[in-house]
Amino acid sequence: MNKRGQLTIFIILAIFIIGIVLIYFAFQQGLIQEPLNPDAEKIRGFVQSCIEQESIETIYQVGENGGYFFPPNISLDSGTVIYYENGRNLMPSKKQVEDEISFFLNEKLFFCTRNFVDFPDLEIIQSEPKTGTVIEDEKVVLNVNYPITIMKDDDKTLIENFKFEAPIRLGIVYDSVSEFMKQQTEAENNGICLSCMLEISEKNDLFVDMMDYDEQTTLFLFRDENSKINDETFVWVFANRYGI
């Protein structure tokens, strides 16, 4: 009986220790959040709204500029980025697009929070935000480390980790365009492979619009009706130059 009682105590102790370890790692990974006081919760909600608003605007603008927030040097006079010229594929890598989103979201957050002027009753100290962006097939995941210290009277609270998953099929759109560009580069006649474009768009439930910019340049718009926020469809725009 003594041995059985000791074993029971040992098992209970082991379960207790494992529980403590799991809770610790859950806090470390942000799976469990400590309850915040009302002022800190108000600031967290305000910053989260800014992150969501600016993330969506940034992702949409990056799509309209073919993977860039501002048009790069190799662009048309209209600002549309050129992906194909002289037989070269100039499409940015997925990592470049992720970095572009991260960088400009960091820049825009300061303008959105406006140095927290809307909260004059609180003393707020903010550090530089650092965003990590991951483009997945069905969504864009943004992890934002934005240390903010909120002080009022004797209370002092630090909040720093935010996350937003934008419901935009950026991975599917990017991979579709990338596949089209790969086939474009490998085409023997350096012309537009219409059958390739149709196959890619049907496979991924996308729409592709084409229009002539000039005699040698064609604009492409990959539209995803499945990625629509506030009735605005996500579009990826670029241009190819042929016969140069």
Please give the pLDDT value at position 87: 86
Q: Which residues are CB-contacts of 90 (< 8 A; sequence separation ≥ 6)?
A: 74, 81, 82, 83, 84
Asked if 30 and 161 count as a contact pair (C-beta separation under 8 A), the reply is: yes
Please give the pLDDT value at position 36: 67
- Summary count for the chain: helices (H), strands (E): 5, 9
Q: Which residues are CB-contacts of 94 (< 8 A; sequence separation ≥ 6)?
A: 135, 171, 174, 178
Residues 63, 25: Cα–Cα separation, whole Å: 37
Please give the pLDDT value at position 191: 75
Please give the pLDDT value at position 185: 81
Please give the pLDDT value at position 217: 94
Q: What is the pTM of this model?
A: 0.84
Please give the pLDDT value at position 86: 87
Residues 242, 25: Cα–Cα separation, whole Å: 55
Residue 219: CB atoms within 10 Å: 16
Residues 146, 130: Cα–Cα separation, whole Å: 6
Please give the pLDDT value at position 193: 81
CA separation (Å) from 123 to 42, 108, 111, 112, 128?
13, 22, 18, 18, 17
Mean pLDDT, each 10-residue run in order, the chain (244 residues): 57 67 53 69 96 98 96 93 92 98 96 95 96 98 97 92 98 97 77 87 96 94 96 97 78
- Cα atoms in the Cβ-side hemisphere of radius 13 Å centred on 102: 20
Please give the pLDDT value at position 13: 67
